[in-house]
C-alpha cells in the first residue's frame, strides 16, 4: 500500500478564465498534521474542495488510501473517510449543538436516530479529544471557537480519518487557537491525518509535521517543520524576502491628540461594557490596545469615532471636545478610521475601488464643487493611491467584490491614511489578510506615526501589538487592566493582563 492516505497529482482547476490551480501537488501521510500555506488566492481552498468533491478536477489524479478515485463527490469523500471544516461554518443557528451534529448522520440508511446513542457517541469524542462543548446550547448561544469544535465533531461522527481544516484560526483568539491546537494534537495521536490551511507562519511552525506551499495556483514545495524557518516559508509564499519584524520607527511623541477621560459606554455584551476608561495618544506614537476580542475594545473605538453613544466622560481630539459628535463631524475634526469589519463598515462591496476611495470625501473639493463632481479627478486620485498602496488589480473601476481580503483592506487603509488628519484609529488592520499585505499595512502604520500623527491600534494579535506599539494598554471586561511601555511588555505579562490579572501596584484609571 502507498505511504500516503491522500495523493493529489498534477491537479488543474479553472473557474471561467481564472486558473485557480495550475499545478497542484499534495500528499498526506497517516497521522501527520500537514499545513497547506500560501497567500490569499493561492489556490489552497480550491485544492481541498477538489479533494472533498465539491467540484470536479479539470485534470490530474486523486488517490485516497492508494486507490485512484476518478469521480469524487462530497458523498464519496465522506464514505472514504474525509471530513472538512470550512471557513464558513455550516451549522443551523436555531438548532442545538447535538441536533446539528445529528443532522450530519446519514438518514438514508433507514436507521432511525437514537438520541441517547448519538449523545453517548458525541460525549465520547468530547472527552477523548478534550473538547469543551455544551451539547444542549443553541448554535447562536455559543462562541465561534465552540462552533468550530462542533464542526470537528461532525466530521468524526461521520467516520472521518482525514480532517481538512480551512483557515480554522482566522476566526479565533490566541487562547482559542491554543485550545484548538490541543485538540488537533489529540486527533493526531489517535491516528487521524490532518490538513491545516493557514497563512500564519507562527502557528504553522507550532502545529505542523510537514508544510506545503502554494503560490498563484502552483505547488512550490514541501518541507519538514524541523528543517525550515518562518523566513524560508515566507519567501516560498511570496517569492521574495519579507520582513514582518521590522525595525520600530523611533517615537517622537508630541502633544496629546486623543484624550479619553473616564468614559462609560454600554456594551454589546455585559463584559464589553466600557466602565470608566481613560487613555491618551500623543502625536508621533502608536498606542496599542491589547485584549481578547469582545472585552470592550470595539465599543471603546465606536465611542471615540462617534458610532456609539458616550454615557459619561469626555473624548478630546486635538484638545477639542468631540464627545457625542456625529462620525462625520469627528472625521472633519481630524480622525480617520480603519474599521474592524471591512465588509460592513469599511467598504461598500457593491461599489468600485474608486467609489470606495472617494466615499468619505464626496462633496469635497477637488472631487466635487457643490453638486458637480469631477469623475476624472476622482479616477486620477484612485489611480495614484492604487499605485502607492499596491492595490491589485490596478483598475480603480472594478468592483471591490472581486478583491482578495488583503487588497480590499488596502483600499480602506489607502483611503483612511491619505486623508491625513491628526489621529488614525486602526482596528484589527491586518485581520484575515495575507502576509504580503500585512507587511505593507504595518509599514504604512509606521509611516503615519513618523509623519507625526497619533495612531490608536486595536489588535487581537499580540505579535502585532508588540511589533508596532510604543505604549500598550490592556483591556479586560471593559476596563483597563494594565499600561505598559513597549520595552516592558511581552506575551506573558500581556496575556496575564488580558485574562483580567492586575499587576500588584496597578492604579486603575491613571493616565497612560
Ligand atoms: N467558485 C469559484 N468561482 C470563481 N473563482 C474562484 C472560485 N473559487 C476560487 N476562485 C478563485 O480561484 C483563486 C484561488 O482561490 P482559493 O482556492 O480560494 O485561494 P486560497 O484559499 O488560497 O485563498 C482565486 O483567484 C479565487 O478568486
Ligand atoms: Mg481559502
pLDDT digits (tens, 9 = 90+) for 255-294: 999 999 999 999 888 888 999 999 999 999 999 999 888 8
Q: Judge if the beta carbon of residue 198 lies within 6 A of ligand 1.
A: no
Nearest CA to ligand 1 atom 6: 15
Q: What pLDDT shows up at residue 113?
A: 67
Nearest CA to ligand 1 atom 17: 43
> How far apart, in Å, are the Cα atoms of 167 and each of 48, 88, 177, 318?
12, 10, 11, 41
Nearest CA to ligand 1 atom 24: 41
Q: Judge if the beta carbon of residue 41 lies within 6 A of ligand 1.
A: yes
Q: How far is the CA of 176 from the centre of ligand 1 (A)?
A: 27
Q: Is 113 helix (H, G, I), strand (E, B) or coil?
A: coil
**Angle at CA 464, nearest 5°, toward 349 and 458?**
60
Q: How far apart are CA 36 and CA 43, in angstroms?
A: 10
Neighbours of 106 (CB within 10 A): 12
Q: Say which ligand is closest to the CA of 37.
A: 1
Q: How far is the CA of 218 from the centre of ligand 1 (A)?
A: 13
Task: Identify residues whose C-beta is under 5 A from ligand 2, the ion.
Answer: 45
Q: Does residue 326 contact residue 365 with C-beta atoms inside 8 Å?
A: no
Q: Does residue 312 contact residue 262 with C-beta atoms inside 8 Å?
A: yes
Alpha-helical regions (H) of 14-129: 44-51, 74-79, 97-103, 115-128
Position in ligand 1 atom list of the atom nearest CA 44: 22
Q: What pLDDT shows up at residue 244?
A: 63
Position in ligand 1 atom list of the atom nearest CA 49: 17
- Of the candidates 413, 490, 487, 491, the one whose C-alpha atom is nearest the C-alpha of residue 457 is 413
Q: Does residue 5 contact residue 64 with C-beta atoms inside 8 Å?
A: yes
Q: What pLDDT shows up at residue 269?
A: 81
Burial of 135 per CB tally in 10 Å (0-12, 13-18, 19+): middle
Nearest CA to ligand 1 atom 3: 15
Q: How far apart are CA 167 and CA 480, in angstroms?
A: 31
Q: How far is the CA of 42 from the centre of ligand 1 (A)?
A: 8
Mean pLDDT per 10-residue segment, the chain (512 residues): 91 94 98 93 95 97 97 96 90 89 63 75 89 89 89 93 93 81 96 93 93 96 95 84 72 94 90 93 97 90 96 97 96 95 84 91 79 85 92 92 87 92 95 82 94 95 91 95 93 81 48 44
Q: How far is the CA of 92 from the centre of ligand 2 (A)?
A: 22
Q: How far is the CA of 267 from the centre of ligand 2 (A)?
A: 32
Asked, as a colleague might, if the bond just before 393 is cis with ω within 30 of 0, I would say yes
Q: How far is the CA of 8 from the centre of ligand 1 (A)?
A: 18
Q: Judge if the beta carbon of residue 168 lies within 6 A of ligand 1.
A: no
Q: How far apart are CA 489 and CA 480, in angstroms?
A: 15
Query: Is 0.85 surpassed by the pTM of this model?
Result: no
Asked, as a colleague might, if the bond just before 366 is cis with ω within 30 of 0, I would say yes
Neighbours of 494 (CB within 10 A): 21
Q: Is 333 left (phi over 0), alpha (psi -120 to 50) or beta?
A: alpha
Which residue from 15, 50, 164, 166 has its CB within 8 A of the most atoms of ligand 1, so it is best to mutate?
15
Cα separation of the two ends of the chain: 64
Nearest CA to ligand 1 atom 2: 15
Neighbours of 360 (CB within 10 A): 16
Position in ligand 1 atom list of the atom nearest CA 19: 12
Q: How far is the CA of 87 from the centre of ligand 2 (A)?
A: 7
Amino acid at each position: 500500500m502507498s505511504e500516503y492516505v491522500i495523493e493529489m497529482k498534477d491537479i488543474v482547476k479553472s473557474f471561467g478564465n481564472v486558473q485557480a490551480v495550475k499545478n497542484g501537488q499534495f500528499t498526506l501521510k497517516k497521522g501527520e498534521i500537514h499545513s497547506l500555506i500560501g497567500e490569499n488566492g493561492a489556490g489552497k481552498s480550491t485544492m481541498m474542495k477538489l479533494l472533498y468533491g465539491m467540484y470536479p478536477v479539470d485534470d490530474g489524479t486523486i488517490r485516497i488510501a492508494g486507490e485512484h478515485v476518478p469521480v469524487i463527490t462530497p458523498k464519496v469523500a465522506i464514505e472514504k473517510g474525509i471530513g472538512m471544516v470550512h471557513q464558513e461554518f455550516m451549522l443551523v443557528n436555531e438548532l442545538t449543538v447535538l441536533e446539528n451534529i445529528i443532522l450530519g448522520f446519514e438518514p438514508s440508511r433507514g436507521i432511525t436516530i437514537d438520541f441517547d446513542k448519538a449523545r453517548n457517541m458525541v460525549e465520547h469524542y468530547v472527552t477523548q479529544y478534550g473538547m469543551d462543548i455544551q451539547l444542549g446550547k443553541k448554535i447562536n448561544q455559543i462562541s465561534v471557537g465552540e462552533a468550530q469544535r462542533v464542526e470537528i465533531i461532525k466530521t468524526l461522527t461521520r467516520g472521518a480519518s482525514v480532517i481538512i481544516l480551512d483557515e480554522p484560526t482566522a476566526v479565533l483568539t490566541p487562547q482559542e487557537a491554543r485550545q484548538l491546537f490541543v485538540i488537533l494534537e489529540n486527533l493526531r495521536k489517535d491516528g487521524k491525518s490532518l490538513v491545516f490551511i493557514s497563512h500564519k507562519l507562527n502557528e504553522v511552525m507550532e502545529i505542523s509535521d510537514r508544510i506545503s506551499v502554494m503560490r498563484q495556483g502552483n505547488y512550490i514545495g514541501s518541507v519538514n517543520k524541523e528543517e525550515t524557518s518562518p523566513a524560508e516559508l515566507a519567501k516560498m509564499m511570496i517569492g521574495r524576502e519579507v520582513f514582518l519584524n521590522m525595525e520600530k520607527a523611533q517615537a517622537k511623541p508630541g502633544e496629546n491628540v486623543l484624550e479619553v477621560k473616564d468614559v462609560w459606554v454600554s456594551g454589546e455584551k455585559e463584559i464589553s461594557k466600557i466602565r470608566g476608561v481613560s487613555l491618551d495618544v500623543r502625536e508621533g506614537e502608536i498606542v496599542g490596545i491589547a485584549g481578547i476580542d469582545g472585552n470592550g475594545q470595539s465599543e471603546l473605538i465606536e465611542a471615540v469615532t462617534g458610532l456609539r453613544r458616550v454615557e459619561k466622560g469626555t473624548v478630546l481630539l486635538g484638545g477639542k471636545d468631540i464627545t457625542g459628535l456625529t462620525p462625520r463631524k469627528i472625521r472633519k475634526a481630524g480622525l480617520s478610521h480603519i474599521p474592524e469589519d471591512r465588509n460592513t463598515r469599511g467598504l461598500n462591496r457593491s461599489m468600485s475601488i474608486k467609489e470606495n476611495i472617494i466615499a468619505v470625501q464626496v462633496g469635497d473639493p477637488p472631487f466635487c464643487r457643490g453638486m458637480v463632481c469631477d469623475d476624472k479627478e476622482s479616477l486620477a486620485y484612485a489611480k495614484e493611491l492604487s499605485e502607492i498602496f499596491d492595490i491589485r488589480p490596478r483598475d480603480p473601476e472594478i468592483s471591490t467584490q472581486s478583491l482578495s481580503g488583503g487588497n480590499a483592506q488596502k483600499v480602506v487603509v489607502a483611503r483612511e491614511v491619505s486623508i491625513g488628519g491628526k489621529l488614525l484609529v486602526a482596528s484589527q488592520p491586518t485581520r484575515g489578510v495575507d502576509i504580503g499585505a500585512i507587511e505593507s499595512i504595518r509599514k504604512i502604520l509606521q509611516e503615519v506615526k513618523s509623519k507625526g500623527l497619533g495612531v490608536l491600534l486595536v489588535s487581537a494579535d499580540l505579535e502585532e501589538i508588540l511589533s508596532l506599539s510604543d505604549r500598550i494598554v490592556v483591556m479586560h471586561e471593559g476596563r483597563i487592566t494594565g499600561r505598559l511601555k513597549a520595552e516592558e511588555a511581552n506575551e506573558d505579562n500581556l496575556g496575564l493582563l488580558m485574562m483580567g490579572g492586575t499587576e500588584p501596584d496597578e492604579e486603575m484609571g491613571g493616565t497612560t
